[in-house]
A and B are shown apart, each in its own frame.
Chain A
Amino acid sequence: MLHETSIAAVAIFAAFVLGVIGLSFFLGRKGQSASGYYAAHGQIHWFVNGIAFAGDYLSAASFLGICGMIAFSGYDGFLYSIGFLAGWVVALFVIAEPIKALGKFTFADALDSRFNSRGIKLSVAVSTLVVSVFYLIPQMVGAGSLIKPLLGLPHEAGVILVGVTVTLIVVTAGMVSTTWVQFIKGSLLVFFCGVLTVMILGRGLAVNAGREGPENLAPQIRTIRPDGMVLIDGQPQSRDHDLRPVGTIVRLPERFAGRASTGPLGPLAYLATLEDSTIVTWSAKKHADAEGVHTTYTPVERPGAELLKPGGFFKGLASGNLPDRLDFASLMLALFCGTASLPHILIRYYTVKDAAAARKSTVVGIAAIGVFYVLTLYLGLGAMTAGALDPTDTNMAAPLLAKTFNETLFAIISAIAFTTVLGTVSGLIMAGSGAVAHDLVENVCGVRMTDHEKIRCGKIAAVGLGIVAMALGILFRNFNVSFLVGWAFNIAASANLPALVMLLFWPRTTRQGIVAAVTVGMLASLSWILLSADTFEKVYGLARDLAPTPFSQPALVTIPLGFLTLIVVSLLTPAPTASRR
C-alpha cells in the first residue's frame, strides 16, 4: 500500500532521533575508559538497568512482529510473548548471579573464567557474533518497514538511517549512551502502548470499523510486473487506486444486536466480546506467470473463538501433523532457553554494581516486559478489527492501528517503534563490538592494547557491524520480524546455553567440552536453519519439500545435542583440576 507522508510525523520522528543522538554526544563528551565504554563503569542504577533490560529486549520483533502476527493470525502471536517472557525466568533464577560474579565485559569472560583458554574465547566470540547478526537482521528489516509509511522513503533508506544513527550512538559513548537510549525507549514504549490500549478499550468493537459497503469484502489482486510496475486489480497502483485496508468485524455478539458498536469495554469484556464476534481476516496466495507475480488477498469470515486460540499461525497445532507440532515445541523451547543465552542481554549484567542490583534490575525488567506483552495482545486484536491493516505488510499493524485514532499518535508510535529498533540494535552492536575487540583481538589474537586502543578497536568493530547490519537488513526485507528473531533464539540457545549451564552445575566440565559444545551447537543450529523448509521457501525460493530437515526450528534437536557433546567431550578429556596444572 502507498502511504501519505505527514509533516507532523516527520517532525516528531526527527525530534526523537535527534534527541537520542544529542543525548549520546552529551554522555560521550567525558573522557572514557574501557570499563566505561564496555560496561558503563558498572555504575548504572538497578532501576534504570531494569527498564534498559526492557528497552534492550523489546525489539522490533516484540512490538511490530507480535502485534502484526496477532492482527493477522490471532492468538499465535501471543505464544511468542509467553515464550519471550518465560526466558527471563531462566535468566533470573539460573544465570544472572553467576554471570555477574564470573565475568567482566563479555559473555566469553564468564564462560572462560575457570579455564583461560583461547579456544573458549574464540568459539564464544564467534557464537556471540553469529547470534548478534541474526538478531540484527529483523531489527533492520523492521526499521525499513517503518520508514516507508512514515517518511515516504524506500525500505533501504530506513535501514541506512538506523544503521548510521546506531553506529553514532555506540561510537560516541558506548554502553553508557546505549543504556540511556534503552531506558528512554523502554519507558516510552510501555507508556504509549498503555495509552493506546486504553484508547482501544475506550473505543470498543465496531462493525466494519472505518469501512462501508460490501465491495470491501471483495478479493484484491496485487501484481508485480517483470519491469517492476505494481498493478492493483489490473490497474496501475496510485494513491487513488490502491489496495483497500483490511481487518474488520462483520458481526457483533447477539447481546449487541442492532448496534454498530459496543461502546467502551473493560479488558476482560473486550476479549469475551471479540470471542463471540465474527471477524474477517485476509489470506494471501501467490502465483507467478508471464505477466508477473500475482498475490491474491481473499477475505475469510472467522468466528472470534477460533482466532483467540492457538493454531492460526502454527497451522500444525490444528491439523495435528507431527513435524509441525515438533516445530512448534522446538520454537517454544528455543524462546524459553534463548533469552538467557543472548549476548546483548547478558552484557547488561556487567553494568550494575553487584548481584543484588542484578536481581533487582531483572525483576524490574520482568515487570516492564510482562506488562508490555499483555498490552501487545490488545494492540494486536485492536489492529485486527480496526479496518486499517496493510495486507502486504504484517509488521505495520501497530502504527496503522494508531493512525485510526489520530495522526499525532501514529507519528508518536512510529517514532517509538523506530527508537525501539535503535535501542535494540545499539545493544547488539555493543555486544558484537565487545566480542570483536575484547575477546577476538585482545584475548584470542593476543594483541595487547592500552585502554584507549581498546576503545578505538571496539568503535571500529561497531562501525563494521553497522555496515554488515545494513546490508542484511536490505537483503531480508520480506520476512515477518518475529519469525526471524525465532532463529536468533534458536542459535543462541543451542550454542550458549549448554556450555553456560554445565559450567555452573557440573564440575567435571572441561575446556574442550565447552569449546566443542559451543561450536557444535552453533554450527548444528545454523546448518539446520539453512537447510529448513522455511529457508528453502522464503530465502532460496525453492519448494518446501526439497528441504532435508523434518521441521524448521532446530532447538529441540540442537540444544540436547549441545549438552551431549559437552558431556561426551568432557568425559574424554582430562578432568579440569588436572588440566589446570
Chain B
Amino acid sequence: MDLFQEVAFTAPHFPLPAARRCILCQPRAVSVVGRTAHTPGAPMPESESHQESPGSPRASRLGLALFWVYVLLYGGFMGLVLARPDLLSLRPFGGVNLAIVYGMGLIAAAFMLAVIYMVLRSGR
C-alpha cells in the first residue's frame, strides 16, 4: 500500500500547495475545489460553521425541519394510496380528483419548501 499520496493538485492554476503526508499519521486534508483546504477537525469556513459539529459538516437544523415537513406530506399521500384509495377519487377542486391535486401539491410543496430554505439560509 502506498502510504504517501498527493493531497493537493499541482496544476499551476490551483491555489493549493502540493503536500505529501503520511496518510496513516494524519487525517487527510479535504479540499474543496477553488477554496482553501479544510481539514476535518477544524471548524468549517465562516458562513457554514454554525450548528455543525467539528469534522462533520451537517445539514442545518432548518433543512432537517423542512425535510420532516415533506416526509409528513409524502407519507400522507402514500398512506392514502395504500390505505384509503377510495378518498383519492373525491373531486374537491374544479372537478379534478384528489389523486391529481395531492400529487401536484407535492410537486409544488417541494418547490416552495426549497425556496423557503434558500431564502432563510442566505438571510443569516
Contact = CB atoms under 8 A, between A and B. Distances in A.
A325 B85 CA distance: 12
Interface in B1-34: 1-2, 5-6, 9-11, 13-14, 23-25, 27-28, 30-34
Nearest to B115: A363
Nearest to B58: A504
A308 B85 contact: no
B103 interface: yes
Contact of B33 (A317, A325, A350): A350
A81 B107 contact: yes
B7 to A, nearest CB: 10
A61 to B, nearest CB: 17
Most buried by A among B33, B47, B53, B78: B33
Contacts of A109: 30
Interface residues of B, number: 67
A54 to B, nearest CB: 13
Contact of B60 (A82, A97, A308): A97
Given A97-B59, A360-B118, A275 B107 contact: no
Contacts, number: 197
Contacts of A318: 85
A355 B48 contact: yes
Nearest to A360: B118
A42 to B, nearest CB: 3
A514 to B, nearest CB: 13
A329 B67 contact: no
Chain A interface, >50% SS class? helix
A39 B11 CA distance: 14
A230 to B, nearest CB: 38
A268 B59 contact: no
A98 B59 contact: yes
25 contacts: A75-B99, A75-B100, A82-B107, A93-B64, A93-B67, A97-B57, A98-B58, A98-B59, A101-B30, A101-B38, A114-B27, A116-B23, A116-B28, A268-B96, A272-B95, A309-B85, A336-B74, A355-B47, A355-B48, A367-B114, A370-B108, A377-B100, A451-B10, A503-B56, A505-B58
Interface of B: 1-2, 5-6, 9-11, 13-14, 23-25, 27-28, 30-35, 38, 40, 44, 47-48, 53, 55-60, 63-64, 66-67, 70, 74, 77-78, 81-82, 85, 88-89, 91, 93-97, 99-100, 103-104, 106-108, 110-111, 113-115, 117-118, 121-122
